[in-house]
Amino acid sequence: MRSGFNVEVRDLLHRGENWFAAKVSDSGGRYGFRMRTSGRDPVSGILGAIILISLCLAAWNGLKYYKFDSSIALVLVVSLGVQLIYLWNTEFDARTYDVEGHLQHASMVYQGTLIPQAAAGWECYHPPLYYGLAAVILGATQLGNGEGIAWLQFFSLTLSFFFLCVSSRIIGTIFKTSRHKTVLALVLLAFWPSGFIHAPRIGNDALLYLLFALSLHNLLLWVGNFSSRNSLLAASLCGARFAYESEWRFAGHLCRLEPGPHA
């Protein structure tokens, strides 16, 4: 029964903490067990709908405040809604990769190892920019309700949404004489199926995409008006890109060497 099943526990609950014990038996092969709030619970559904509507309204007001065109803002908000629904119904390790390594690196930074040795973990060779931010989120949520992993998913989704916002500016700069082409290109980007899968994925890719988009946007603005402010921003964001990721690929191939243990 891969998708699980629901158990009604309303009559078993009492005020305060409630503990549940479960016995799992298996006739062979791989198995797993996880207990969580059912998505079919009406209270959970109502709260989810309130959160979804509130976040979409907040995003709409923010986009209009920054003078996004109404059609562009509508595409971005609808895309955000789909991403939130996907996040609500997706476990953190579903359709992902390397998530354990990213969580390990962030946990090590949170526990006090600011820059772990590259050999200390699966993903510890990455520079610390993303993991420092993730460690702050873990620390804040550990002091609260302990749902650090869920908040890291939401952090990735937020970065992905900002990436789409900046990308809409880039597309508008490229197709500034055609509003229809701008909207069509943004729809293709915002509703590309793999984008929804990637949005809540825990890892440093979402930050990479946002920094790249910000750098490209300011570079295009600098090319258009030769503003020293835009050139400085583009250069600074490229520098942040180096702090984010250990490899910078140009045309061709880049081989990275670093000291390792003696044979």
pLDDT tens by residue, 104-154: 888 888 887 778 887 777 777 777 788 889 988 888 886 555 568 888 999
In a domain, 31, yes or no: no
Segment 67-79 shows an average pLDDT of 96
Domain that holds residue 66: 37-244
> Residue 251 — pLDDT band, cuts 50, 70, 90?
very low
- Identify whether 254 is part of a domain: no
Note whether residue 193 is domain-resident. yes
Instruction: Write the pLDDT tens digit of every residue in 145-174.
Output: 556 888 899 999 999 999 999 999 999 988
pLDDT cut 90: percent of the chain above it: 28
Residue 14 lies in a domain: no
**Widest CA span in the chain:** 69
**What are all long-range contacts of 34-40, with beta carbons under 8 Å and residues at least 24 apart?**
34/4, 34/91, 38/6, 39/88, 39/89, 40/6
User: In this model, does residue 253 exceed pLDDT 80?
Assistant: no
Count of domains for the chain? 1
Residue 56 lies in a domain: yes
Q: What is the pLDDT of residue 76?
A: 97
Would 26 be classed as within a structural domain?
Answer: no
> Is the entire prediction scored with pTM above 0.85?
no
Q: Is 117 part of a structural domain of the chain? A: yes
- Inter-residue contact 129 to 249 (CB < 8 Å): no
Q: Is residue 6 part of a domain?
A: no
